[in-house]
Amino acid sequence: MNMESTFGEVTPRLTVIGTGYLGATHAICMAVQGYEVLGVDVDQSKIDRLTAGEVPFFEPGLPELLTKALTSGRLRFTTSFAEAAEFGDVHFICVGTPQMAGSHAANVSYVFDATRELARHLNRRALVVGKSTVPVGTAADLAELIATTAPAGSEIELAWNPEFLREGFAVEDTMNPDRLVFGVASAWAEEQLRASFAPMIEQGSPVVVTDRMTAELVKVAANSFLATKISYINAMAEVCETIGADVQDLATALAYDSRIGGKFLKPGLGFGGGCLPKDIRAFAHRAGELGVGQAVAFLHEVDAINQRRRTRAVDLVRELVGGDLTGKRVAALGAAFKPNSDDIRDAPALDVASTLHRAGAQVCVFDPAALDNARRAHPELEYGESLLETLRGADAVILLTEWSEFQEIAPEVMGSVVAHRRIVDGRHALDPMAWRAAGWEYRALGRP
Ligand SMILES: NC(=O)c1ccc[n+]([C@@H]2O[C@H](COP(=O)([O-])OP(=O)(O)OC[C@H]3O[C@@H](n4cnc5c(N)ncnc54)[C@H](O)[C@@H]3O)[C@@H](O)[C@H]2O)c1
Ligand SMILES: O=c1ccn([C@@H]2O[C@H](COP(=O)(O)OP(=O)(O)O[C@H]3O[C@H](CO)[C@@H](O)[C@H](O)[C@H]3O)[C@@H](O)[C@H]2O)c(=O)[nH]1
C-alpha cells in the first residue's frame, strides 16, 4: 500500500482496543486490507482464542479472514497497553458501552478505563480514535483525560469515528462501508484517518468530515432512526390487529414508495440486540441531561411499542392453546436477536421464551448458533439438540428468529412431529397460505 501520512510517508500502524464483535472484526479486516494491526483486550481468554485463530463469536466469513490475517503476520493480539502504545500510530477504542444497571444511561466506564490505560503509556505523537457508541460529549471528556494523562501531552489527539456495521454482515460492512464519519479537531487527525481507511476511500466509500460531537451524534441518530422505522411499522401492526387489517400488505404497499423504502420496515417481534435498544435509551437519557429531552421524547414511545410486540407474541400463543399456558409444550424456534448471529443481548426471542416459561408453559428452544449463549443466560429453559427434536410433541410452535432453516422446513414435515398444528410466526417468515393448507392454525403479529 502506498499512503502518505505525517508518520514519514508510511502506513500508520493500528491498534484496536477491545476485541469483541466490533473490535475483532475491525482488527481482522484492517489486517486483511494490508495494515499492521495489534488487537488489545483485558480478557486474556479472548486474546488467547483470537491468537489461536478462533473467532469467539459467530460471524459469517470472519474465521477465514482471521486465518488469513494471522498467516500474513500482520495481525497480533496482546493484553499489554504498554505494547500497544509502543506499537501503534492510530489507536481505535472499541470497548463496550452497555446499558447501566438500573438506568437508561450508557455505561462509559470501559471507554474511560481503556483510554486512561493507553494514555498512560503514550509518549510519542499518536491519534486515539473512539469507535464505541457513546453519549454526546464523551469525546470532550476523553480529550481532557488524554491531555492530563499522556506523557506526550498535546502530541496526542483524539478523533471520533463511529461504526455502523451490522452483525451478520460485519465483514461486508467493514470492508465496504456505506459511509465513513470522521469527527476531528485538526487537519492532521483527518489525514491520519484518511490514511487509516485508504482502501475503503479508494473504492468509493464517501467520507463525512465533521467535529467530534457531531460524529458522536450521527451514530445515535442513525440507530434511533432505524429503531423508529421498525417501531413505526409495528405500531401499524397494532392498529391492524384491532381493526382486522393486514400489516404485511400495508408494509409492502408503503415500501413501493421510494421515499419510504422497504428496508427496516419488516413488522414482527421488533428489534433487540446489543445496539438499538440500549442506544435509543442512552440517547434519550443523555438528551434529558443536556436539556433537550423533549426533542427525542418520541424514543420512549419507540421503545414501548417495541416491548409491546413481545407481550403480544406471548398472548398469541396463549390464545392458540386455548387461553391457559400451564403445562403446554411450546417449541420456540430461535434465540439469537436476529439470524446469522449468536448474539442474545436483549434478544426478543429469549424474552418471549422466558415469559412463556414464567406463564407455566414447558418451553423448548432451538437455535442453529446461539444455543450455548442462551443456555448460559437462561438455564431455566429447555433446549433441543435439533429442530425436529425441539418440535416433537409441541402443543404450539412459535418462530422467533427467522433463520433460513426454519423458513425452509415444509409444513407437512413439521406437522408430522408436533402434537398440534398451531404456529405463531413472530417474524412474518412463513407463507400463511401454505401452512394453513397443510392444516395449521397460523397466527402472525398484525395479520388477521
Ligand atoms: N456489535 C456491533 O455490531 C456494533 C456495531 C457498531 C458499534 N458498536 C459499538 O461498539 C462498542 C463495542 O461493542 P461490541 O458489540 O463489540 O461489545 P463486546 O462486548 O462484544 O466487546 C467489548 C470488548 O471490550 C473489552 N474490554 C472491556 N474493557 C476493556 C478495557 N478497559 N480495555 C480493553 N478491552 C476492554 C471486553 O473484554 C470485550 O472483549 C459498543 O459501544 C457498541 O455500541 C457495536
Ligand atoms: O425491518 C426490520 C429490521 C430489523 N429488525 C430487528 O432489528 C434488530 C436489529 O437489526 P440490525 O440493525 O440488522 O442489527 P444490528 O447488528 O444490531 O445493527 C444495528 O446496530 C449496530 C450497532 O450500533 C449498527 O452499527 C447497525 O448499523 C444497526 O443496523 C434485530 O432484532 C432485527 O430482528 C426488525 O424487527 N425489522
Ligand 2, atom nearest to 273 Cα: 17
Query: Is the CB of 341 inside a 6 Å radius of any atom of ligand 2?
Result: no
Given this model, what pLDDT does residue 3 score? 44
pLDDT, tens digit, 9 for 90 and up, residues 319-375: 999 999 999 999 999 999 999 999 999 999 999 999 999 999 999 999 999 999 999
Q: Could you tell me which CATH number the domain at 309-444 has?
A: 3.40.50.720
Residues of the chain with pLDDT > 90, as a percent, come to: 98
Q: What average pLDDT score do residues 214-224 get?
A: 98
Query: Is the CB of 373 inside a 6 Å radius of any atom of ligand 1?
Result: no
Q: Give the burial class of 128: count Cβ atoms within 10 A of its Cβ; 0-12 exposed, 13-18 middle, 19 or more buried.
A: buried
Q: Is 29 annotated in the active site?
A: no
Q: What's the chain's average pLDDT?
A: 96
Q: How far apart are CA 7 and CA 196, in angstroms?
A: 12
Given this model, what pLDDT does residue 127 score? 98
What ipTM was predicted for this assembly?
0.98
pLDDT, tens digit, 9 for 90 and up, residues 421-440: 999 999 999 999 999 999 99
Domain 309-444 in the same topology as domain 14-210: yes
Q: Give the burial class of 385: count Cβ atoms within 10 A of its Cβ; 0-12 exposed, 13-18 middle, 19 or more buried.
A: exposed
pLDDT for 7 beyond 90: no
CA 381, 382, 383, 384 torsion-angle sign: negative
Q: How far apart are CA 314 and CA 318, in angstroms?
A: 6
Reported pTM: 0.96
From the candidate CATH numbers 3.40.50.300, 3.40.50.720, 3.40.50.1860, 3.30.360.10, the one assigned to the domain spanning 14-210: 3.40.50.720
DSSP lists the bridge partners of residue 436 as none
Q: How far apart are CA 191 and CA 193, in angstroms?
A: 5
The alpha carbon of 22 and the centre of ligand 1 are apart by a number of angstroms equal to 6
Given this model, what pLDDT does residue 4 score? 44
Q: How far apart are CA 375 and CA 372, in angstroms?
A: 5
The alpha carbon of 292 and the centre of ligand 1 are apart by a number of angstroms equal to 28
Query: Is the CB of 273 inside a 6 Å radius of any atom of ligand 2?
Result: yes
Q: Whose CA is nearest to atom 28 of ligand 2?
A: 166
Sorted by where each begins, the domain ranges of the chain are 14-210, 309-444
